[in-house]
Chain A
Amino acid sequence: GESVGLHLPTLSVQEGDNSIINCAYSNSASDYFIWYKQESGKGPQFIIDIRSNMDKRQGQRVTVLLNKTVKHLSLQIAATQPGDSAVYFCAENVPPGGADGLTFGKGTHLIIQP
């Protein structure tokens, strides 16, 4: 079946550098995407979302890019900090969306090195 997947299971970056976490999705009908951050021992926490009618959305130090042509989603974190160390999940929602639930990728572990 169709699923959400991640290119890299572990990403290590130097503190202060920018990081990019990638996600491939296979369901072309997906119209809503979310990035979640999960710290050790905690539940996933919403970071940023994007709808399929957009190709870029910016938050505080984070930017999500959506390329529908190649079904690719990325999360850019600027000037990484130690607190950014976590597992990051992308999730997609297929219409009709809303209460239908999300399909999560396996996750990428981001490690911030001092």
Chain B
Amino acid sequence: DAGVIQSPRHEVTEMGQEVTLRCKPISGHNSLFWYRQTMMRGLELLIYFNNNVPIDDSGMPEDRFSAKMPNASFSTLKIQPSEPRDSAVYFCASSNLDEQYFGPGTRLTVT
């Protein structure tokens, strides 16, 4: 298995633009998580899905952030409009039981 796949690996955009991050979880995993990592706040859980259904989105910073999981093999995290304070590394992780397997992350820079 290729593990959790995220794209793009790097994204640089101007504030106000829409950003879409993509994730392909490990086949057979029924839970998917989106995290944000910054030096100041560490690793924060944004939202997670179980069997493609959003379970807890209390970590989503504000309405500018939205996430979807249209099927078991794909999820997106969208930021619209993006702001400089959204700059961070965004990780997607998937799991079948307790252990979570992380993707390589998307480094987002909003100028």
List residues of A whose CB falls within 8 A of some B CB. 32, 34, 36, 41-46, 49, 89, 93, 97-107
Partner of B95, one of A45, A99, A106, A107: A99
List residues of B whose CB falls within 8 A of some A CB. 4, 30-31, 33, 42-43, 45, 48, 50, 55-56, 91, 93, 95, 97-105
A105 to B56, CA, bound (A): 20
The answer to whether B43 touches A46, judged by C-beta atoms less than 8 angstroms apart, is no
| B51 to A, closest residue via Cβ | A99
Given A45-B102, A46-B100, A99 and B42 contact (CB-CB distance below 8 Å): no
Majority-rule SS of B interface residues:
strand
Given A98-B31, A104-B42, A43 and B99 contact (CB-CB distance below 8 Å): no
**Shortest beta-carbon distance from B67 to chain A in Å:** 13
Residues of A within 8 A of B43 (CB): 44, 89, 104, 107
The answer to whether A105 touches B42, judged by C-beta atoms less than 8 angstroms apart, is yes
A89 to B43, CA, bound (A): 9
A100 to B4, CA, bound (A): 19
Given A44-B43, A44-B91, A106-B42, A99 and B55 contact (CB-CB distance below 8 Å): yes
